[in-house]
Amino acid sequence: MEPLDYHAEERSKASFDVEEMKIVWAGSRHAFEISDRAARLVASDPVFRKDNRTMLSRKELFKDTLRKTAHAVKRTIELNLSEEETHTLWFYVDQPAYANLHWGMFIPAIEGQGTEKQKQKWLPMAHNMQIIGCYAQTELGHGSNVQGLETTATFDPQTDEFVIHSPTLTSSKWWPGGLGKVSTHAVVYARLRTDGQDYGVHGFIVQLRSLDDHFPLPGITVGDIGMKFGSGAYNSMDNGLLRFDHVRIPRNQMLMRLSQVTREGKYVQSDVPRQLVYGTMVYVRQIIVSEASCALSRAVCIATRYSAVRRQFGSENGGPETQVINYKTQQSRLFPLLASAYAFRFVGEWMKWLYTDVSKRLQANDFSTLPEVHACAAGLKSITTSATADAIEECRKLCGGHGYLSCSGLPELFAVYIPNCTYEGDNIVMLLQVARFLMKTISRLVSGKMPIGTAAYLGRVEHLMQCHCEVQRAEDWLKHSIILEAFEARSARMSVACAESLSRFSTPEEGFGEISADLVEAAVAHCQLIIVSKFIEKLQQDIPGKGVKTQLENLCNVYALSLLHKHLGDFVSTGCITPKQGALANEQLRSLYSQVRPNAIALVDAFNHTDHYLGSVLGCYDGNVYQKLYEEAWKSPLNDTVVPDGYDEYIRPLLKQHFRTARL
């Protein structure tokens, strides 16, 4: 007997080639094939089971993570996987682990900041996992303000060593993943002191634990920082604390690609430009932007599929109730999130290209695009992660009461994702960095220096300050040129307004402090423009497959017009559009929802998420939600016994008491 597919009718409504859309989502046929194989490999392996994860104790969860990590390494070797295949396999294991920081932060830090000799020594051991490393930068008292770090590395010329020390409680390293229980080594960031001077924060390779018995080395206090938000989620990671009590390391364990300390204790800058450090930063942030679309697509897939299964109200003459997805209130909340998943996917693809481009330029000592690239990486990291975190919670609410169940997959997805808003740069701090870039760009226009890349539109600032939106009918909002100019005008006018406000203060820093909230809003406008423009650029490419481009055009318009509706005050108050044009945009948005509706299930199918990866009863592919919910309920540990533990001690004595009167 064929298994039931409760979404079969929905899937039959699709007016586009779903298989071709899967390839568009993956980026290429090659990427799709690698992703599809890895997803199914993980889903079919019982070691990678995760449906019981939220019921495990912290110790059980951590041991489960160690087991899965070791198994993933074993399978990688057995299958002789390429670097791309290995990365994809780890992605689908979908459980935060020390290996994420070892491969994603420790190794890149050595690659980017170590000399050739240091890389030859440390990288083979790291690649073979003969040592396991983490990235120890954040402290108890300092996170975003890296220059405020307190850990010291004082050079001792008598012994040719650095003395690593934690002088205060707040100088304790705090949060590094993998540090708590696993890492044998760390790249530690500390204030370099030599020859009586403080030369600021530098990186040092420090061994933390014995390679024989794993005990901490003398002078090192290290442990786990404790439980974090949610069940399961990031509690699989041993985020750690670390203190040094005058720990000595050889001088050559300072990462010396950019600067070094001589045997005599002299601080010497190398010939390598310091700007190369930004390459690693851009790399990490472009990964975060790319992964935002993955997390958002999971939440949207769950909410969309469940909204098509769930029926409430609207029954006529005893017929079926109305699918929740058919209510306009549901569509107006859900479909912009669906569009955002695709928008973030495409801007993530572009960020990968941007990283490759800036890396080539940096190697050729071309730093001309670096300020703009840094602003893009910071701003898009902020915008995409904040929007995704909010969207996951919105998807939980879109699933009603059942979305609150752990087996919906949404509570754990939210808990595991939200750290993205603070690690690798607090999101508000990131937006303020974008704002500084925008203010510098505008100030240089006076001298005739034209902006480049994503800021090029500011070179047309005179036109954008005076242009008028040409929309007269709702369908005019389907013209990409009109959408783009509205977003450019909004961003330019908000940035110019901030620049004019800053000019009235006695010092720039005083002005930045006073109007920082306005600067953040201007940065948001700039970043949203980038995402809209990259979606439009994607549509200008050759996109194969029946109906695929039409659906992407609909999603692009939904994304842009839903942002316009959400930030209508910005567009109207800056004079970019009139209130009437804003109303027409909303009218067109409602029409677009009607076009997305019959394709909604197929559009989330195109994400190609396996049931294992989704980890959601509500989002299962076959839509058999209620049967699965019922079965899941009986897996609760409380149902192991009919009569609960504690009945004889606490419930029975209450029931057997006889009160003459009851008092509240």
68: helix, coil or strand?
A: helix
What is the gyration radius of the CA atoms in the chain, in angstroms?
27
Q: Are 239 and 222 in contact (CB under 8 A)?
A: no
**CA distances (Å), 551 to each of 11, 24, 335, 450, 545, in order?**
15, 12, 12, 36, 11
- Rounded Cα distance between 223 and 211, Å, is 17
For residue 104, count other CB atoms closer than 10 A to its CB. 17
Q: Cite the beta strand spans of 287-390 per DSSP E.
A: none
Q: Give the chain's end-to-end CA distance (angstroms, integer).
A: 57
Whole-number Å distance between alpha carbons of 378 and 360: 20
Q: What does the block give as tokens for 492?
A: 């330019």
What residues contact 300, with CB distance under 8 A and at least 6 apart? 334, 337, 338, 341, 391, 395, 604
β-pairing verdict for 185-194 and 152-156: parallel
* Residue pair 495/526 in contact by the 8 Å Cβ criterion: yes
d(CA 38, CA 91): 9
Structure tokens at 139: 């402290």
- CB distance 403 to 397 below 8 Å: yes
334 Cβ contact partners less than 8 Å away, ≥ 6 residues apart: 300, 303, 304, 307, 325, 395, 398, 600
CB within 8 Å of 617: residues ≥ 6 apart: 405, 407, 408, 409, 625, 628, 629, 632
CA distance 495 to 454: 14
CB 129 within 8 A of CB 144: no
Residues in the chain: 664
2 is a catalytic site residue: no
Considering 10, 20, 161, 424, which one is annotated as catalytic?
424
Tell me how many degrees the CA angle 432-435-438 measures, rounded to the nearest 5. 160
Reported as type and span, the H/E element at residue 441 is helix 427-444
In the structure encoding, which two tokens stand for residue 443, read together? 């100030």
Sheet with strand 173-174: strands edge to edge: 173-174, 240-244, 220-224
Q: Identity (one letter) of the amino acid at 26? A: A
Q: Hey, is 663 helix, strand or coil? A: coil
Residues in Cβ contact with 145 at an 8 Å cutoff, skipping those fewer than 6 apart:
none
Q: How far apart are CA 611 and CA 42, in angstroms?
A: 11
DSSP 89: H
Please say whether the beta carbons of 485 and 534 come within 8 A.
no
Q: Which residues are catalytic?
A: 424
